[in-house]
Amino acid sequence: MSRPFSLYMLVGNPVSGSLSPAIHNAAFRALRMRALYVAVETPQGYLSQVVSASRFWTKGFNVTIPYKVDVMSLLDRLDRSASLVEAVNTVVNRKGVLVGYNTDGEGAMRALEKNLGPISGMRVVVLGAGGAARAIVFSLVQKGCQVVVANRTVSRAEALAAILRKKLGAEIRIIGLRKRELKKALSGSDLLINATSVGMLPHPEDTLVTADMLSPEVSVMDIVYKPLRTRLLREAEKAGCRTVDGLQMLVYQAALSFKLWTRRDPPLHTMMRAAKRAAEGRE
């Protein structure tokens, strides 16, 4: 009898530019697993049908924009990682019971610690208050970091501060994106994380922070990975800062999903190599 075959998928819209299939399929090949990861472009109005089908056809799936919040009501259970942040990026199918997790925040923490060493207690400025920023800020606060959130829409940052207060009893500071305000916050910080979409293709020359606002004591992570070397990372290098690119977080969140689905140790080097190759368009 042939060995069982497992199907995994990415549910979102659009998904055509995603690197996740390349990352997971490289991992399956490396571990000689009979499994395939496919991107399923899910038009508005089809999410519940795709999730229903996933109970029979898949062992689990990832969720991306715009469904990370909407998918929650279609699942049977939420892990604390998802219920805290109120967003799901990974679903595990346990014999027909769909359990939602969020690996974005923990993925970002692993990427930071792998590249910069321990981060607990650091003073961190996070640019952005959207979905990715929210997951990252929750994880930073749980690591005992002091967090300043700078966002274009201040009310969105205030909403994030309110859920953090309610769920973790934690306080963060909120600022806007004015250069003077940002520079002052950065001067007393250890780490800057860009969790906005600023700098992403098709606007690779955009950045909220330039070299003159940074000093070498501040490490800089950009979670944008298209392009890989964003303008922010180039500005940070100019200022002598240590940098972490967006592929690192992408691969670590994928590795955490892989472990949840398969219970096997993810082949990190293989996944990182596949992500780089796919990001550089060599696939």
- The secondary structure element, H or E, covering residue 62 is strand 60-63
Positions that interact with ligand NAP (CB under 6 A): 65, 104, 128-133, 151-153, 156, 195-198, 200, 223-225, 246, 249-250, 253
Angstrom distance (rounded) from CA 24 to CA 49: 24
Q: Is 114 a catalytic residue?
A: no
The β-bridge partners of 144 are none
Cβ-based nearer residue to ligand NAP, 227 or 246: 246
Q: Considering the candidates 68, 167, 226, 259, report the single residue annotated as catalytic.
A: 68
Which secondary structure element, helix H or strand E, spans residue 99, and what is its range? strand 97-101
Comparing CB distances to ligand NAP, the nearer of 209 and 241 is 209
- Residue closest to ligand NAP (Cβ): 130
Residues with Cβ within 8 Å of residue 200, at least 6 apart in sequence: 224, 226, 230
Compare residues 52 and 221 and give the one whose CB is closer to ligand NAP: 221
The minimum distance between CB 259 and ligand NAP, in angstroms, equals 16
- DSSP state at residue 244: E
Q: How far is the CB of 155 from ligand NAP (least distance, A)?
A: 9
- Find the shortest distance in angstroms from Cβ 175 to ligand NAP: 13
Considering beta carbons, is residue 75 or 256 the nearer one to ligand NAP? 256
- State the nearest-atom distance from the C-beta of 201 to ligand NAP, in Å: 9
Burial string for 65-82 (b: 16+ CB within 10 Å, else e) reads eebbeebbebbeebbebb
Number of C-alpha atoms within 13 angstroms, CB side, residue 86? 10
Active site residues: 68
